[in-house]
């Protein structure tokens, strides 16, 4: 995943989590909805990362034990 896309997922996820924290004071249902949306956004970021790695054929090898 390139740096711009990674930055997008990081910033958008943090914005959603921050909004969720603010909405806790206002409405529990809105906070719950935004919290679920934040989790889906984080998961979508991981799925996108794996799809890009599979497409380009770049995967990280498992760490070797000393």
pLDDT value at position 4?
93
Q: Is the pLDDT of residue 30 over 80?
A: yes
Indicate the pLDDT class of residue 1, thresholds 50, 70 and 90. Answer: confident
- CA nearest neighbour of 9 among 1, 63, 32, 54: 1
pLDDT value at position 61?
64
Global pTM value? 0.79
pLDDT value at position 45?
95
The set of residues, in sequence order, having a beta carbon less than 8 Å from that of 14 and lying 6+ positions away, is none
Indicate the pLDDT class of residue 62, thresholds 50, 70 and 90. Answer: low
């Amino acid at each position: 995943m390139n740096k711009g896309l990674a930055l997008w997922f990081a910033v958008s996820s943090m914005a959603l989590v921050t909004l969720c924290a603010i909405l806790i004071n206002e409405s529990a249902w809105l906070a719950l909805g935004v919290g679920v949306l934040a989790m889906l956004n984080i998961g979508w970021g991981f799925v996108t990362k794996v799809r890009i790695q599979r497409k380009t054929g770049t995967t990280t090898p498992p760490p070797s034990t000393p």
